[in-house]
Structure 1
Amino acid sequence: MMITRRHHSWSISIKLWFAMTLLILAVLGGLGFTLTWLFGDFYLQQKLNSLRSEAVEISAQLASVPNWSGRLNLLESLKLTSGTQLVLLDPQGNIIVLAGSISQKGSQNTIEWYPKSLLGGSLNGLSRDLRPSDFFTEDNLAQVLSGQTISIKALPINGGAQAMLLAATPVGLNPVKGVVLLGSSPIPIQESIATFRRLILYASLIAVFLATVVSLIFAQHVTRPLGLMQRGASRMAKGDFLPIQGVTSKDEIGELAEALNWMGESLKNHMAWLSQEKNLLQGIVESISDAVVMLSIDGSILYANDSAKALWQENEIVVQERKTQIVTILQAMAVRENQTENFEVVTIGIQVLQIVMAPMSENEGIRGHVAVLRDVTASLRAEKNRREFLASVTHELRTPLHLIQGYLEAIQDEVIPKDQSEEYIDLVLEEAKRLARLVQELQEINWLERGQVMQPTAINMENFMLELDHRFQGRAQELGVKLKVSKGFGELYADQDRLLQVFINLLDNALSHTPCGKTVRVFMVEEQNEVRLVVQDEGEGIPKEALPYIFDRFFRVNKARTRKDGGMGLGLAIVRQIVEAHGGNVRVESDMGKGTAFWISLPRL
């Protein structure tokens, strides 16, 4: 299973820092805005209340004085709150006194009123400092003349930056003798609020810095074990199930690390169990002598055991053609029988394969197919040889027995003249000897297959080669074949009678299959630890396809040869059994039309 890693632009540390900083900024920003608004409104309202109280007090004092002269004297003695301006208006809105200065009686210093106008309106071109009366409208005057005490938050007018806090109250009632108007600038309060805002800003910056430090420390504390677990999980994904070290916390992160370690241990045990099961299954499959091949659903090879590789000769140059033939047959079987087991016997060259194929089923459907291929060539050939052997033995026994029976009956019935009976008796004796040789060869095969122990002795190879030459020169001359036996040397530790039997079989075959005028050679090659003896003829040779079976029992290259020309196919089987019983080996080389060479390798000791 592939694991896709998602790369994020922000790490957990940055996310934690950003979240904490944003939270602190939001809290401090909201708190600063709320406090600024509350404190500003509180201080402004407090100032208005103070102006209102002061205006009421001044109005009461002025109302207690019966004439304007006394009132003016009273105003001169008043001490206003710092930053407070006083304007005394008559009921028509004319300025009588401004900021403690005394105007002339009947002075007409008035301003232009703007009924219901917005604060901060035009002053009709007057060039002077703003007064409280500049923010006092006719509506405000009417309210005060009706006996009300009012307070006003006056906004800047005429595009200026100055604002005014006002409090107005009537002087006397029924009739109203004048209006006391007090004004104060809100700038000190605004400066205090600005200072408070700066304090909140500085506190926010300090909080952001502290949040950064704290969040980084906290993020490192959180992300370090997460990083360890991430690297541990990556190792586990690659098959390294070592436990995660370095996570010591007892919180949820520590529990997660313990869970990952437990999962890694479980995966390790499970993978070990799966590996054991796989090795066991693979060992079983590899130990099977039959070829086992797994095919995917599209027909490609998923697995093949050593027997399968040997079947299509994996190490041979012609592997591709042979492998392609086998795979093509398997693919055809898989397509033909997709759901059930399939059985088929096919022939590839000289090999006969028995194939059993079954589908590999899963919950999702068929994943592929498993095929077991068994090379039944040897068993079929053995069965065929057995039948041929029985037929040959029957024939070989029946023919001489019939001849013997016929000759003896003829002699008994005196059908054959007495002067010719000796000749027929010789024929009967010859047939009896042939039957005895057949039985003897069968006994030899049985004796060797039972693993009878050889009786080795030190053989003088020079004398042994001379004996071969003397024994077969006569027959070679009769057949018109040249026999050349090289001189032997050294000693060989072997069973001399059995070794002589090997060369009798080989030389008998070589002389029988070599045309007149050709040569049969016997020579010896000495190696460091072994001796090689070679019988080479210039006969017709052995077909290439027959070479793998030349040492099999009952195998004859030319089955059309007569009993007189060929034996029962047991001679070379006896040769191989004797050589292998000595710990050696025998091999054959042959070219059609050029001859055959048998190489016998025997250990020196």
Structure 2
Amino acid sequence: MKSFRHRLLMMIIGWIGLLLAGLFLIISQLFPIYTQLENPMTIWWLLLLLFVIAMIISTVISYHIIKIQAQPIENVTETALELVKGNYRARAVESGTVGAVQLSATINVLARNLQEITAVRQMEQERLKTLIENMGSSLMMINRQGRVSLVNKPFLKELEMSTEDVQGKLYKELNIPEVLADFIEKVFMTETADRDQIDFAIGLHQKHLDVYGAPVMGEHERWLGVVIVAHDISELKRLEQIRKDFVANVSHELRTPVTSIKGFSETLLDGAYEDTPTLLSFLEIISKESNRLELLIKDLLELSKIEHAGFQVNAQPADMKAVIERAADMIYPGMEEKSIFLKLQLEPVMVLGDPDRLIQVVMNLLANALTYSASETTVEVRLYKEKDEAVIRVKDEGIGIEASEINRLFERFYRVDRARSRNSGGTGLGLSIVKHLVEAHHGKLKVDSEVGVGTTFTIYLPLAS
């Protein structure tokens, strides 16, 4: 722009200089008298003066001409340079001659279009980034050189890695499970889509992934790399295993009393009924097994009802001290028969809950303590307030639970000591019912245990306002 201005200035000065030179030539021809003066240098000084004045006038005129003609062009050029730098908010001043105004307006339209396109592109990039980071599945893209070009947070979390461990590195250099590396290698080398279910250990946890890999194709069917998508199905696998265990356990639990009832009934029908002592003994066993079968079916129906999505408790202000005392009265005969001392330390506390369901919770916890506690031990029940919650703590001196088994404690039919709990008549569903009822009251359940020392169940329930 400066060279344009200089060229324009020199052109104007040149034209004015030629004009003055011609003017001086005409003057010297029309007025030859001046050349006969005694001091002929006077006319040259006069001409020099006129030339200086003409130069000053021409400079002023040139400046204004340049300002009018060149400044809009310079402004448009500066705006274009800003657009090249990526500043699409820059605008040219729409002033000057008609041509300059049209040029400025065109540049401004271009700038607005670029700004809108950039805004749309940024919005799409943000949407894509948000989608990739929050899609729930692990995603990794590998370019045609075999380097990781994109990886999302679920992938890093799943494999317990950081972005620095993955980004820009060859997929063969990644510290990932061998089965996953083999799957990536297969998709990358064959350039064909594939799907598989893999499992591997991460620390102490077993992971199950449903992985899908496919080639990424660009324009003209150009191969750009591969994309790997993995979905964690560990929870589904766990639930599937629980379902299988549930079916197996139900079959076993139902088969035992049914087998007993059928066996003793057939024995009686074969003639044992004629022996009165044998008859009474067998009938007592059949009655006991029938009661056990009835209790099992009742607990299964109860648990099914509690686990239903629409299940709600009849929450109302309830005297938790009275609830525990009533449950203790119901379990006391069993405690007395086994010579177990029941110690109650209860403060007056009002909770928001269903009294009948809360009695069921306390009864199941006391029955569990009774089942796994030896004679001449103590079961302690405490009730007190802690901040804005009621705390119910049931502590026994039983066999205790291994730390690895605590997470499975509330599974249906799971037993720490199968022989002891089955002989006691338990169904294996009590703690599952406790867990779901506590959650239905918007409470929390905590377990602390030590093998050979005992177990403590702690329940936190909201206070009644």
What TM-score comes out, normalization by structure 1 length?
0.59
AA of the residue aligned to 2:288: E
Give the 3 Å change call, closer, same or farther, for CA 236–483 of structure 1 in structure 2: farther
1:505 shift after superposition: 2.0
- Partner of 2:390, secondary structure, is strand
CA–CA separation in structure 2 for the residues paired with 1:384 and 1:462 = 40
Matched AA of 1:404: I
Is contact 1:468–1:485 with CA below 8 Å preserved after alignment? no
Q: Aligned to 1:346, which of 192, 199, 210?
A: 199
| Structure 2 Cα separation of the partners of residues 410 and 286 of structure 1 | 68
Which residue in the other structure is 1:19 paired with?
7
Kept in 1, the 8 Å contact 2:24–2:47? The answer is no
Deviations along 1:381-425, one digit per CA (max 9) or x if unpaired, are: 221122222222222222322221111011001146332111111
CA distance in 2 between counterparts of 1:592 and 1:361 reads: 59
SS of the residue corresponding to residue 280 of structure 2 reads: helix
> 1:382–1:514: structure 2 CA closer, same or farther, 3 Å change rule?
same
5 Å-filtered alignment, 1:506-585, equals 506-514=365-373, 519-539=378-398, 541-555=400-414, 563-564=422-423, 569-585=428-444
Q: Distance in 2 between matches of 1:455 and 1:224?
A: 80
CA distance 1:359–1:217, change in 2 (3 Å): farther
Alignment equivalent of 1:401, drawn from 258, 263, 277: 258
Q: 1:533 to 1:30 in 2, by over 3 A?
A: same
Distance (whole Å) between structure 2 residues aligned to residue 551 and residue 587 of structure 1: 11
2:458 alignment counterpart? 599
- Alignment check: 8 A CA contact 1:392 1:568 kept: no
In the TM superposition, 1:224-263 aligns within 5 A as 226-227=74-75, 230=78, 234=82, 241=89, 244=91, 246-249=93-96, 251-263=98-110
CA contact (8 A) 1:24 1:208 kept: no
Check if 1:380 corresponds to 2:199. no
Which letter maps to 1:600?
I
CA distance in 2, matches of 1:309, 1:446: 38
Q: Which amino acid aligns with 2:6?
A: F
Stretch of structure 1 that moved more, 482-491 or 499-508? 482-491
Structure 1 CA distance for aligned equivalents of residues 300 and 416 of structure 2: 19
Indicate whether 1:422 and 2:269 are aligned. Answer: no
Aligned-pair CA distance for 1:491: 2.5
Q: Show CA shifts across 1:147-204 (max 9, x none).
A: xxxxxxxxxxxxxxxxxxxxxxxxxxxxxxxxxxxxxxxx999x97x98887786676
CA distance in 2, matches of 1:369, 1:558: 51
Q: What is the match of residue 214 of structure 2?
A: 358
Shift in alpha-carbon separation, 1:328–1:461, aligned structure 2, 3 A: same
Q: Which has the larger radius of gyration?
A: 1
1:561-589 deviation per Cα after TM superposition (whole angstroms, max 9, x unaligned): 87436956532322222122223333334
Contact 2:413 / 2:428 at 8 angstroms: preserved in 1? yes
Q: 1:291 aligns with which of 137, 145, 148?
A: 137
| Structure 2 equivalent of residue 223 of structure 1 | 71
- Residue 140 of structure 2 contacts residue 152 of structure 2 at CA under 8 Å; is this kept in 1? yes
Shift of 1:428: 1.4
SS of the residue corresponding to residue 423 of structure 2 reads: coil
Matches of 2:156 and 2:401 in 1, distance apart?
Answer: 28
- Superposed counterparts of 1:262-301, under 5 Å: 262-278=109-125, 280-281=127-128, 288=135, 290-295=136-141, 297=143
Q: Residues 528 and 188 from structure 1, CA distance in 2 versus in 1: closer, same or farther, beyond 3 angstroms? A: same
Structure-1 separation of matches of 2:350 and 2:149: 54
Residue 231 of structure 1, CA deviation: 5.1
SS state of the match for residue 94, structure 2? coil
Q: 1:452 to 1:582 in 2, by over 3 A?
A: same
List alignment gaps of at least 5 residues for structure 1. Answer: 1-11, 43-186, 313-317
Distance 2:112 2:387 in 1: 58
Partner of 1:464: 323
| Closer/same/farther in 2, CA of residues 205 and 337 from structure 1, 3 Å limit | farther
Supply the distance in 1 between the matched residues of 2:10 and 2:102 (Cα, whole angstroms).
30
| Aligned partners of 2:91 and 2:111 also within 8 Å | no
| Alpha-carbon distance between aligned partners in 2 of 1:518 and 1:485, rounded to the nearest angstrom | 14
Which amino acid in structure 1 is aligned with residue 212 of structure 2? V
Q: TM-score, normalised by structure 2?
A: 0.74
Structure 1 residues 469 and 397, CA gap change in structure 2 (3 angstroms): closer
CA distance in 2, matches of 1:464, 1:432: 30
Question: If each structure's helix is expressed as a fraction of its own residues, which one has the higher value?
Answer: 2
Q: For 1:254 and 1:522, how far apart are their aligned partners in 2?
A: 90
- Does the 8 A contact of 1:294 with 1:370 survive in 2? yes
2:248 corresponds to: 391
SS at match of 1:351: strand
Distance 1:558 1:252 in 2: 96
- Aligned partner of 1:158 in structure 2 is none
Give 1:588's aligned residue.
Answer: 447
Instruction: Give me the whole-angstrom Cα distance separating, in 2, the residues matched to 1:593 and 1:545.
Output: 15
Is the alpha carbon distance of 1:255 and 1:400 closer, same or farther for their aligned partners in structure 2, counting shifts above 3 Å?
A: same
Q: 1:350 to 1:580 in 2, by over 3 A?
A: same
1:497 CA drift (Å): 1.8
Cα separation, 2, equivalents of 1:390 and 1:510: 27
Residues 298-335 of structure 1: CA deviation (Å, up to 9, x unaligned): 65574535x557656xxxxx8769x9899734666544
Give the superposed CA RMSD: 4.6
* Partner SS for 2:265: helix
| SS of aligned partner of 2:277 | coil
Shift of the 252–27 alpha-carbon distance from structure 1 to 2, 3 Å rule, reads: closer
- The CA deviation at 1:430 is 1.5
Greater CA drift, 253-262 or 207-216:
207-216
Counterpart check, 1:412 vs 2:266: no
Name the aligned partner's letter for residue 377 of structure 1: S
CA–CA distance in structure 1, aligned partners of residues 383 and 147 of structure 2: 54
Q: Distance in 1 between matches of 2:63 and 2:460?
A: 83
Q: 1:602 to 1:291 in 2, by over 3 A?
A: same
Following the alignment from structure 1 to structure 2, what is the Cα–Cα distance between the partners of residues 589 and 204?
108
Letter in 2 for 1:256: L
Tell me the CA shift for residue 508 of structure 1: 2.5
CA contact (8 A) 1:481 1:518 kept: yes
Change (3 A) 1:260 1:20: closer
Q: For residues 32 and 249 of structure 1, do their structure 2 counterparts lie closer, same or farther at Cα, with a shift above 3 Å needed?
A: closer
CA contact (8 A) 2:320 2:350 kept: yes
